[in-house]
């Protein structure tokens, strides 16, 4: 029991539910003379039958804190004490004083602050219950008020919990914005509706990267936009969709809806969430057309100026997690579509080429598809077609 005094050294003696309050001049009659050194620390004495006598001093530098058993998991009611420290040991704040071993785990018991262990209320091996009587008492040295003002660090909860964790052990509930609610709804619908399956392949990016490096300056000068890696993938995906029209279709009730056009949605990350603007009629577009369209849609997305019409529809989606360093992943279908291509990061890896081991910049690609409509054969051939179109764009021009 913690009690503070304003004028006198106060003694509280508890026996069988009765309390007796004594002034400081009467303390020696009960406990004997206190030495000058002992006068600067609190002492806890434990007697039989839960008779506890505590001496608390008005000096703000010291106080006594009891360490109690923590809360247990719902399925655990008791545990055995395993002492890690001895009486007289100095402990720091949050240092383990002892452990409570249960049937499922060992629950650590932490010191509430810096101090010295004066006495244990339990023995090693004793069985205790959750939130039971104190386990030990620790006189805790406080910091002088003047020093506290100069050196103490006070943690303040962050102003925006979504951008910072300050360690104050507080929580903040924030209402989801409409965009995030819609994204969550559509992703859950896709998961509940489609029989999603993912197949993988890998692409040797050395040829397309060399092509891009060779023509970058001329391309930028002529079209006013840089030649990126998105346009080869979008064009290769359009070629693969023309080769496998079922990947461009969708189930509608008891019917299959085939589309005689290729509209590719490109996932763009914005501060408010993921948006998927649509590139229309990709089957007729060149690399320059694709790059100009993607650049314009991405800029409008970052500014929050995309219209509903620019995000509506789409027969296929490309998601590029590689811009964030993703090695591999399984994208989720964007309804009402039947497949989505996941691009990933480019990393140098050793591969076997013509009987030799060489180092090449490689990218894993993933195709998630609705297995209700698309069979494994079509999915594998589709992804292989994209691989060929990126590694050798001439195959697209030649119609191979």
Q: What is the pLDDT of residues 239-293, one digit of tens each?
A: 999 999 999 999 999 999 999 999 999 988 777 667 889 999 999 999 999 999 9
What confidence score (pLDDT) does residue 359 get?
96
What confidence score (pLDDT) does residue 139 get?
57
Residue found under tokens 């001895």: 86
Sign of the C-alpha dihedral, residues 203, 207, 209, 212? negative
pLDDT mean across residues, the chain: 78
Q: What is the pLDDT of residues 241-251, one digit of tens each?
A: 999 999 999 99
* 8 catalytic per annotation: no
* 375 catalytic per annotation: yes
Token reading at 25: 């001049």
Give me the residue spans of the domains in the chain: 194-397
Q: What is the pLDDT of residues 85-108, one digit of tens each?
A: 888 888 888 888 887 876 556 677
Query: Is the whole model's pTM more than 0.75, yes or no?
Result: no
CB–CB of 107/119 below 8 Å?
no
For domain 194-397, the CATH superfamily is: Chloramphenicol acetyltransferase-like domain (3.30.559.10)
CB–CB of 28/34 below 8 Å?
yes
d(CA 224, CA 122): 78
Catalytic residue from among 80, 223, 371, 392: 371
């Amino acid at each position: 029991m913690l009690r503070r005094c304003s004028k006198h050294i106060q003694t509280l003696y508890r026996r069988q539910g009765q309390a007796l309050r004594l002034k400081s001049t009467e303390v020696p009659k009960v406990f004997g003379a206190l030495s000058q050194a002992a006068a600067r620390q609190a002492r806890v004495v434990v007697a039989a039958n839960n008779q506890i006598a505590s001496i608390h001093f008005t000096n703000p530098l010291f106080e006594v804190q009891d360490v109690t058993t923590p809360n247990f998991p719902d399925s655990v009611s008791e545990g055995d004490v395993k002492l890690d420290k001895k009486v007289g040991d100095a402990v720091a704040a949050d240092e383990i004083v002892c452990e409570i071993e249960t049937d499922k785990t060992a629950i650590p018991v932490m010191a509430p602050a810096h101090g010295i262990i004066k006495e244990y209320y339990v023995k090693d091996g004793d069985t205790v219950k959750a939130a039971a009587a104190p386990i030990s008492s620790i006189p805790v040295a406080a910091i002088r008020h003047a020093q506290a003002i100069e050196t103490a660090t006070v943690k303040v909860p962050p102003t925006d919990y979504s951008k910072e964790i300050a360690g104050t052990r507080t929580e903040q509930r924030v209402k989801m914005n409409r965009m995030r609610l819609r994204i969550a709804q559509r992703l859950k619908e896709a998961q509940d509706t489609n029989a999603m399956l993912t197949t993988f392949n890998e692409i040797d990016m050395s040829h397309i990267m060399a092509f891009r490096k060779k023509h970058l300056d001329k391309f930028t000068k002529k079209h006013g936009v840089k030649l990126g890696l998105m346009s080869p993938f979008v064009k290769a995906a359009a070629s693969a969709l023309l080769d496998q029209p079922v990947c461009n279709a969708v189930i509608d009730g008891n019917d299959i809806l085939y589309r005689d056009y290729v509209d590719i949605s490109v996932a763009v990350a914005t501060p408010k969430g993921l948006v998927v603007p649509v590139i229309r009629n990709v089957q007729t577009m060149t690399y320059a057309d694709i790059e100009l369209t993607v650049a314009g849609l991405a800029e409008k997305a970052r500014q929050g100026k995309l219209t509903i019409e620019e995000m509506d529809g789409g027969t296929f989606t490309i998601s590029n997690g590689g811009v964030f360093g993703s090695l591999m992943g399984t994208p989720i279908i964007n309804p009402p579509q039947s497949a989505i291509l996941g691009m990933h990061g480019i990393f140098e890896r050793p591969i076997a080429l013509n009987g030799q081991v060489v180092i090449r910049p490689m990218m894993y690609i993933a195709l998630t598809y609705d297995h209700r409509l698309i069979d494994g054969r079509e999915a594998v051939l589709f992804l292989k077609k994209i691989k060929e179109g990126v590694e050798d764009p001439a195959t697209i021009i030649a119609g191979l």
